[in-house]
Structure 1
């Protein structure tokens, strides 16, 4: 009976269910889209290329005390000799890679990996090739790089590596699936910066020896190193960036899908409750003819289930097509993991269906609970004159949600880090639940506050104010989605704008240098010394950006959950001060020295918030895990404020040397002594002329180029934000339209008593303006409450930065959505003759 009645109601009054259908449709569409993108990233399968012919690979554990190392963990290079001595082993080759820049003639320089020539044995196409014999001063190139540079065997090329720029003869061309530059073994290991540590050891078996048996023998001598045989594990060693990109992409799509689910459940439940409350009259009549409360609730649940299933079915194809559009756009920008394929799967559809039912059915049951229990006469009365105020249970639930959001803001968000960022959407939704439950009270307050200026507009303003008081419940249903769009959009965008703004402000304030030298693949360390000798240069400092893990200074410390950004510098700390001013709080950068210069593991400078987080200070130790997982305990020589602009830790290059993949510095900061800039530029350009691709920039030009480097990340953020906020915006417009369509009888009665359409439009426009302004105000307050602790924990800034343009766009979008979603339905209502509209529903 309940299902039949539900179908009959949908057929007789489909307009009553359109709003719910739209909310469910777009919620399912976003979930299906994000689900397919998530599966495409999770199922990405990149086969190893260099190690394709290597059945057994020995590599280090990529984690340090349970946390992924920021760079690459390495094994003892001498392990290759011990493995080679095993009877089943044909060869064991220690492998390493380091960035070099190769140039020839006037061709553009090429950045590639430098490697020992012995690794050609397994790196060449087909595997198990004979390495070419290379004398001193000769190298081998892969065929693709040789063609790009326009060189053949015997030609001279220039190579920039850790020891500077030198000329080499091309001794061989290797048919390799990946770009590479091969040097004589001894020279390659010296150039790598870590001659006793290898990225991995490739093990080749003798004929007839299976890989599993070989792996078992290798494990006996491998010690703590991992012995890998699967293609996925070998690819993770060959392409560590693949795992990072895949993990980040899965995390992003998971967050998008999770946020979409949260918003969908919230919006659909709210829409379902509104839809059922708009049909109180029908419910009262059903009660009057003998329908039991359980039948009313079952009918509401059946209606919700039917609409939810229909919405998901209709959303399947558009959801997959949206996923295809986003997938293609991300793949063009190299933002998807290599090997990703977008294929249709029913799992996201099932998740969308479950989420739709989870939102619609409980929402319908809760919304129909009071109407089903009310006496028929009471229900008819409430349908004609909406109840004012809210019940005690709803009030207590709203206050509890508000208290929970405030507590999480103070305790979790203020702590910063990944945990706070992951908790932010939950806190936002708790605030929105509180707003939804306390909505009638907030709507009444908004009406009283905004009613003062509205009355100045005359009779229409007075009527809009009185109507808002009488319809506080309906008004709150319209305010909540507007507040949701504003709060979510401002929180997501405001977090990024605040971080970018603070990074730019702190970087500009900290950069004391006049010139910055850069090159595509990095610069040799000795170039900073040559730049310092240029007339007119007061100080020149090489800078390298790197990641570190940080923990307290006690011996048993474990690393924190998040890695921190650090900068290693060449030369003395006293020279660094002339190029970089991190705004020292205590101690002195002059006291920052490598090991042997005052402490067993040297000294470092630490950003004040990081020092507070790990409970250390000047003169006390701090535990650092370097890029390869090596653990050191330097002493803190200084703390400073501008961590967002200069990195969380400043330490000497000598401390990290040998622990990074690249032995090159990223850039050189140059401070002038006041000499004319033209002479300084000529001197610096002459000093770097022997380094292919090296350029000299002003500090301002360097800052601009740094901003441009964030463009891809900004596109990714905008894409994710656009999908989710677009859904929330559509949901808001949908709810506003539902509230407006419900007013057919009211609009018709006003027209019958003499109000002309023009004045009626003015009244409704003022009411819509009240809704938009209230939603804007509530949404902005919630966003600022959430943003302030997040931004303060991440940057130290006391208040988030919201650009005026962002504020104007948010206000404009809210106004456009609010007014259009109200005025367009009103136009349709005004087409109905008043005498007809009084007796029928929209």
Structure 2
């Protein structure tokens, strides 16, 4: 039957062009996403300070919890890990265990902390380290000697200092004078992403303020020891979870923790959008092949009537799908490589992936994509031919002539179950709040779109029935369009489903992001009541807020930075909660600089292990005012805290408020992101003069910077949504062109019985208008069913933020595609003389 499949493909090139192009574009997009996945897994960030050491040991930034056991005999297994944004540091005692591993020559601890060096000018951040870690690069002294006293430092050449100079150095306390004992240069040239200051090892440990814990251990190998052998030995010596033994480019992720997290984000983005592209491909290809089989009903009927078995019919169609899928996937994966590189550059342009990350090319994504799309195409073909293969030979011709208007019982039952599931999720989301409500609502769109695809003919029948009274008022064009739509619901369904998918998915993907950004911006604007906000590129040292408070005219000062906490659940309990955005503040009267709308308790009591939580978070944590709860800090350290205040406004800055003392030593930096100031105008010149290195702005001006990450996420999502919508648009056009182009004999018959060319065109316009309008209504309803619960969960309002330009732009594109993809093929089909067109084979 494969030879017969090849013959039908050659004879019906136009009919299969739609499925081929759809699979080709899908192959390109999914290959690009696969390359990004491969880059996130196998790629890395070039190391700078660790480039002279073979192996670097760091903590595992993925916090593992235990899966709930099904029975007491089941062994403990780690659950899906959570990627932590704050660095997990290591016990210095681990150095002795690492040094005992065969092949290890030396184990060097390293700590890192931001430093303000004299009149620091904008540029690469300055980081402090202990002089003992200089050998990890290594650094070479160009003049002077290593630091011997607590007030001595070694600087890099770019600092512009010489041996014997005295310079003010500030870490977290007030600036203090240090003497330059030496000037050093890193082997291999200066660093691109940082400048370095070395202290004595003891002084560096003290300034890092991490309780003696270290960021990483550099492991130097004995001569003749291979890196791979040393890595394997170290991994055996360490527990299975909690540590990372890094070599090669993986060392960079251990040095630059934010860059390592960015690679994890790249994995999530690529996996998410690749999965969406594959889902759309399956839907559209299934719809296209189903339409192709429907248009070949007479051919299928004749084959059954002359003795073709159901198995042979399935083999023929699956063979066609196999050849189509293989050719399209192979051809389409080739442009996936430059598209993947372009996508990576776009992510880098938005600051979500480091510029140093390079695309990891390889055959694995292409092989995986070809295999997946071939399987998807074959399954789609088998699904499309399922009924034609089952029909009895004696009924085949009659069924082909009369057509089939509804669907089988199994498909009807499946569609109703999916529809019921989406309604149940929608109702459930109304009784949830926060992340749980948004998560439940996001599943509604997927279930509804699948349900509409499964129940397509039934949905089309209902649409045709409801539109019939209006359309039949318009004599020839409207009457014929209504009759065609009512009779041929399969063709109507095949045209509506792709457009509903485009509108529903496009609206949800775009307007969830715009709603999040709008809620965060509005909440932030109303939350910050400070007159001025101070920021600095490397953060603000802890001693600065007290100095600001002493400035005449300043009435209140609050330091602020961001971290994340996570609920600690009993062993064996599976967590569904994401990390909780948290504000770290300096204790004081927060009411003067922040308006979080407290409903219970007192925000001024946030001190030590006493915290404030939003009302939604309190409900999620199942804790009330005065209650205690166990949380994991940003580096997975377990703490028990007490709730002393509950507030309502959570979307702007964070859902939990904690004292800076609680997270001291448990964040990447001990410095603050912002300082909120309540002061009169007379204090502004003094602030600018006394703190020239800080940026002073009002609350409104800092808003753009504060929501920059959300906006970057929004534009990244819009970019990828735009690409997928382009792909969906191509698929929609193909489907509509295919459906209209196959009606040449029908148009010829209408003209032979007396219809004019204009009347036929008027009929197709009515049909396309019905398709477009019904698709807009259904797609918008699917989007609303998802967006309304999410908006309620985020802001308490049922109205999501839908920019009119984006919505009507999307609707306009879909309308133009729907109308043009019907009008142009119809005009081309009507160029033929009716007598010639009626004789064209199907």
CA change 1:102–1:717 in 2 (3 A) is farther
CA change 1:15–1:512 in 2 (3 A) is same
2:373 matched to which residue of 1? 356
TM-score (norm 1): 0.87
1:495 matched to which residue of 2? 512
Contact 2:428/2:440, CA 8 A, preserved across alignment: no
Instruction: Choose which of 604, 619, 632 in structure 1 pairs with 2:626.
Output: 619
CA change 1:174–1:757 in 2 (3 A) is farther
Answer yes or no: is 1:164 the counterpart of 2:168: no
Per-residue CA deviations over 1:50-108 (Å, capped at 9, x if unaligned) read: 33444565655545563554412223447669989999987654421111234548x43
Q: How does 1:48-67 map to 2 (within 5 A)?
A: 48-54=47-53, 59-60=58-59, 62=61, 66=65, 67=82
1:597 matched to which residue of 2? none
Contact 2:425/2:443, CA 8 A, preserved across alignment: no
Distance in 2 between residues matched to 1:387 and 1:413, nearest whole Å: 39
User: Structure 1 residues 246-255 or 457-466, which shifts more?
Assistant: 457-466
Secondary structure of 1:541's match? Answer: strand
Secondary structure of 1:655's match? Answer: coil
Answer yes or no: is 1:121 the counterpart of 2:138: no
Secondary structure of 1:730's match? Answer: helix
2:610 matched to which residue of 1? 603
Contact 1:104/1:151, CA 8 A, preserved across alignment: no
Answer yes or no: is 1:190 the counterpart of 2:210: no
Secondary structure of 2:661's match? Answer: helix
1:325 matched to which residue of 2? 342
CA change 1:233–1:378 in 2 (3 A) is closer
Secondary structure of 1:164's match? Answer: coil
Answer yes or no: is 1:99 the counterpart of 2:98: no
Answer yes or no: is 1:824 the counterpart of 2:824: yes
Per-residue CA deviations over 1:465-507 (Å, capped at 9, x if unaligned) read: 3332222221111000000111111121122112111111211
Distance in 1 between residues matched to 2:541 and 2:805, nearest whole Å: 43
1:529 matched to which residue of 2? 546
User: Structure 1 residues 215-224 or 810-819, which shifts more?
Assistant: 215-224
CA change 1:777–1:88 in 2 (3 A) is closer
Give, in angstroms, the shift of residue 605 of structure 1: 0.4
CA change 1:127–1:305 in 2 (3 A) is farther
Give, in angstroms, the shift of residue 280 of structure 1: 0.8
Distance in 2 between residues matched to 1:815 and 1:309, nearest whole Å: 33
1:23 matched to which residue of 2? 22
1:646 matched to which residue of 2? 653
2:384 matched to which residue of 1? 367
1:580 matched to which residue of 2? 594
1:399 matched to which residue of 2? 416
Contact 2:144/2:181, CA 8 A, preserved across alignment: no
CA change 1:228–1:704 in 2 (3 A) is closer
Distance in 1 between residues matched to 2:815 and 2:116, nearest whole Å: 54
1:599 matched to which residue of 2? none
1:566 matched to which residue of 2? 582
Distance in 2 between residues matched to 1:127 and 1:530, nearest whole Å: 37
Distance in 2 between residues matched to 1:221 and 1:325, nearest whole Å: 40
1:112 matched to which residue of 2? 126
Contact 2:519/2:794, CA 8 A, preserved across alignment: no
Secondary structure of 1:355's match? Answer: helix
Per-residue CA deviations over 1:755-776 (Å, capped at 9, x if unaligned) read: 4333433332232121112112
Secondary structure of 1:175's match? Answer: strand
Q: How does 1:379-418 map to 2 (within 5 A)?
A: 379-407=396-424
Per-residue CA deviations over 1:606-661 (Å, capped at 9, x if unaligned) read: 12222222211111101122233322111001122222212021011122222223
User: Structure 1 residues 237-246 or 19-28, which shifts more?
Assistant: 237-246
Secondary structure of 2:613's match? Answer: strand
Contact 1:619/1:637, CA 8 A, preserved across alignment: yes
Distance in 2 between residues matched to 1:571 and 1:100, nearest whole Å: 24
Q: How does 1:397-546 map to 2 (within 5 A)?
A: 397-407=414-424, 428-451=445-468, 454=471, 459-546=476-563
Distance in 1 between residues matched to 2:808 and 2:238, nearest whole Å: 66
CA change 1:323–1:129 in 2 (3 A) is farther
User: Structure 1 residues 726-735 or 346-355, which shifts more?
Assistant: 346-355
Distance in 2 between residues matched to 1:346 and 1:224, nearest whole Å: 31
1:33 matched to which residue of 2? 32
Contact 1:551/1:558, CA 8 A, preserved across alignment: no
Q: Structure 2 regions of 5+ residues with no counterpart?
A: 66-81
Distance in 1 between residues matched to 2:545 and 2:772, nearest whole Å: 58
Give, in angstroms, the shift of residue 244 of structure 1: 1.7
1:173 matched to which residue of 2? 183
CA change 1:218–1:729 in 2 (3 A) is closer
Distance in 1 between residues matched to 2:413 and 2:18, nearest whole Å: 29
CA change 1:140–1:823 in 2 (3 A) is farther
Answer yes or no: is 1:785 the counterpart of 2:785: yes
CA change 1:671–1:204 in 2 (3 A) is same
1:836 matched to which residue of 2? 836
1:664 matched to which residue of 2? 671
Give, in angstroms, the shift of residue 711 of structure 1: 4.6
Q: Structure 1 regions of 5+ residues with no counterpart?
A: 595-601
Answer yes or no: is 1:685 the counterpart of 2:688: yes
Distance in 1 between residues matched to 2:574 and 2:404, nearest whole Å: 58
User: Structure 1 residues 457-466 or 397-406, which shifts more?
Assistant: 457-466
CA change 1:560–1:377 in 2 (3 A) is closer
Give, in angstroms, the shift of residue 781 of structure 1: 1.7
Aligned residue pairs: how many?
819
Answer yes or no: is 1:746 the counterpart of 2:746: yes
User: Structure 1 residues 278-287 or 184-193, which shifts more?
Assistant: 184-193
Q: How does 1:192-231 map to 2 (within 5 A)?
A: 192-202=208-218, 228=245, 230-231=247-248
CA change 1:365–1:621 in 2 (3 A) is same
TM-score (norm 2): 0.87
CA change 1:81–1:426 in 2 (3 A) is closer
Secondary structure of 1:840's match? Answer: coil
Per-residue CA deviations over 1:743-802 (Å, capped at 9, x if unaligned) read: 212222333344433343333223212111211221222222233444555565545332
2:70 matched to which residue of 1? none
Instruction: Choose which of 589, 600, 606 in structure 2 pairs with 1:592.
Output: 606
2:810 matched to which residue of 1? 810
CA change 1:664–1:210 in 2 (3 A) is same
Give, in angstroms, the shift of residue 735 of structure 1: 1.1
Secondary structure of 1:247's match? Answer: helix
Secondary structure of 1:245's match? Answer: helix
1:655 matched to which residue of 2? 662
Secondary structure of 2:702's match? Answer: helix
Secondary structure of 1:643's match? Answer: coil
Per-residue CA deviations over 1:7-27 (Å, capped at 9, x if unaligned) read: 222222322211222222222
Answer yes or no: is 1:272 the counterpart of 2:289: yes
User: Structure 1 residues 86-95 or 54-63, which shifts more?
Assistant: 86-95
CA RMSD for the aligned pairs? Answer: 3.8
